[in-house]
């Protein structure tokens, strides 16, 4: 456990060294969605919405190099107290399982700590707050990201794509 904390600390120091975020629009499933290709070690993602029908992430697709240390900053711009959010990177096709399986784990940001579909996750971010979390991206492939707060994963989701750097 101490080793993991040390690794996360080191990654966060490395991530603080630079910030450059380039994003562009992409068309996905006939709807406008923002895609971001990461060129730095920190990705900024905003969660927003004042009710269940408005909640969303500002990015629908995130492309990152595979097997790279990154930090995600999750910003909660909601103003309704019933809208805390998290960001969970998961294996493709496991959103329902991860979302439903997390109900019992409020103390772990609604993420089952033994769920093998979970690659990484943020803490629960309350309204008006920002939380950072660091991890090593998985191997080349297409994954997903969701908010696993109860009832949110069906609307708050996107693709997390790892590519050759």
pLDDT along the chain (165 residues), means of 10: 39 38 33 47 93 94 96 95 94 97 97 98 97 97 97 95 94
**15: exposed, middle or buried (Cβ count in 10 Å: 0-12, 13-18, 19+):** buried
Q: Which CATH class is domain 2-163?
A: mainly beta
Structure-block tokens of residue 135:
């991890």
CB 22 within 8 A of CB 43: no
CB 78 within 8 A of CB 48: yes
At residue 73, the pLDDT reads: 97
At residue 34, the pLDDT reads: 54
Helix (H, G, I), strand (E, B) or coil at 79: coil
The torsion angles phi and psi of 29, rounded to 5 degrees, stand at 50, 45
Q: What predicted TM-score, i.e. pTM, was given to this entire model?
A: 0.77
At residue 32, the pLDDT reads: 36
Cβ–Cβ contacts within 10 Å for residue 69, how many? Answer: 17
């Amino acid at each position: 456990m101490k080793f993991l904390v040390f690794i996360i600390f080191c990654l966060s120091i490395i991530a603080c060294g630079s910030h450059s975020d380039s994003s562009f629009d992409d068309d996905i499933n006939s709807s406008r969605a923002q895609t971001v290709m990461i060129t730095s070690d920190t990705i900024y993602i905003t969660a927003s919405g004042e009710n269940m029908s408005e909640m969303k992430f500002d990015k629908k697709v995130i492309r990152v190099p595979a097997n790279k240390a990154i930090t995600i900053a999750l910003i909660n711009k909601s103003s309704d107290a019933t809208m805390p959010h998290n960001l969970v990177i998961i294996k493709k096709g496991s959103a329902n399982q991860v979302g439903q399986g997390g109900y019992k784990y409020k103390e772990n940001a609604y993420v089952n700590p033994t769920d093998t579909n979970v690659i990484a996750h943020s803490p629960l971010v309350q309204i008006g707050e920002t939380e950072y979390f660091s991890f090593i991206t998985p191997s080349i492939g297409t994954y997903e990201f969701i908010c696993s707060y109860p009832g949110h994963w069906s609307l708050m989701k996107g693709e997390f794509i790892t590519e050759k750097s």
